[in-house]
Amino acid sequence: MQPSLRTVRISPYRRLGSALWRLVAGLATAVMLLVLLLIFWTVIKGSLPAWSLSVFTTPTSGLSGGLENAILGTLWLGLLTILAVGVIGVATASFAAAYAPVWVREALLFVSDILSGVPSIVFGYVGYLAFVVTFGWGFSALAAGLTLTMLSLPYVVRNTMQAFDKVPVEIREAAKALGFSRARTLWSLMWPHSLSGIATGAVLALSVAMGETAPLLYTAEWSDSLPNLALTHHSVAYLTYVVWTFIQQPYPAANALAYMAGLLLMVVVGAIAFATRFRAMERP
């Protein structure tokens, strides 16, 4: 017998439902793209008066000047954060993967989830009390960097743990059977095998940290001068401060700087996200 499919005429209702659904989904997508466009439009249009090289070459002075101090400050804080969060995050995930019993592992993931749900301003307050006041570091790069580290730690821990989970059990077992210590298995097999996962987590953490304002108000304060290498007792400038403060001023020049700061942040964070996405797509 010839195979045949029973053919049914698709009912008008179903056609209508299907068309409606397509319409709603399409509209939602359009709204999302529109929002993105609107953001870009607003920021670019607002920043136009500030488009000049001096943005990169002069620091702020009061409510005018350039953004050099804020750009360098953001990069400086980003560097401190990614160093600290990389070391602490990978160490935590390594402990969980190689040494901790299963329940500790689960508990760590749970704590990490809770941590990522804490509002960032709470981290700011905790960082202020711990680093600025109790440790006596004052408003400083170290206080700010470590506060951003606490806040972005969950991203590195989770991504690293997931990368470790992708190392085949057979390989870990083979290493064990060959007499590898857990530390040796970690650094000879698990880490090299997980590099891209670790990098993804670190970069995600970095982009989250660079976009934060509230925790920095409490820990870095603000400074009109360029950041120096002093870790403590020196306030640091950062781009989000400009966005937050200069936009409320009645001066057009200050407003333009605020838009400019926003645009720079979006470009940097966007570029980082794009770079990691691109790398992730390259992998088979």
Partner 1 sequence: MVEVQTENRPMTALRLEHVSLTAGKHTILDDISMDLPDGRITALVGPSGSGKSSLLRIVNRLWDGVPRVRVHGSVWYGDTDLYGDRVDVSVVRSHIGMVFQRPTPFPKSIFQNIALPLKVHGTARSEISDRVEAALQTVGLWDEVSNRLHQPALTLSGGQQQRLCIARALAVEPTVLLMDEPASALDPKSRRRIDELIMSLKGTVTVLMVTHHLDEARHISERLGVLVNGRLAAFGETEAVFASENDVVAHYLHHHDED
Interface residue list for partner 1 (CB under 8 A): 101-102, 168, 170-171, 173-181, 184, 188-189, 192-193
- Kindly state the smallest distance separating residue 196's Cβ from partner 1, in Å: 13
- Kindly state the smallest distance separating residue 193's Cβ from partner 1, in Å: 6
- Quick one: 57 or 188, whose CB is closer to partner 1? 188
- Kindly state the smallest distance separating residue 59's Cβ from partner 1, in Å: 48
- Quick one: 105 or 135, whose CB is closer to partner 1? 105
Residue with tokens 């560097």: 79
Q: To 10 degrees, the CA torsion angle through 5, 7, 11, 15?
A: 60
- Quick one: 184 or 277, whose CB is closer to partner 1? 184
Q: In the beta sheet, which residues pair with residue 64? A: 61
Q: In the beta sheet, which residues pair with residue 60? A: 65
Please state, in angstroms and rounded to a whole number, the distance separating the CA atoms of residues 130 and 253: 37
- Quick one: 10 or 177, whose CB is closer to partner 1? 177
- Of 282, 279, 243, 270, nearest in space to 46 by CA: 243
Residue with tokens 């990098």: 199
- Kindly state the smallest distance separating residue 91's Cβ from partner 1, in Å: 20
- Kindly state the smallest distance separating residue 173's Cβ from partner 1, in Å: 7
DSSP secondary structure of 191-208:
HHHHHHHHHHHHHHHHHH
Please state, in angstroms and rounded to a whole number, the distance separating the CA atoms of residues 75 and 213: 14
- Quick one: 96 or 265, whose CB is closer to partner 1? 96
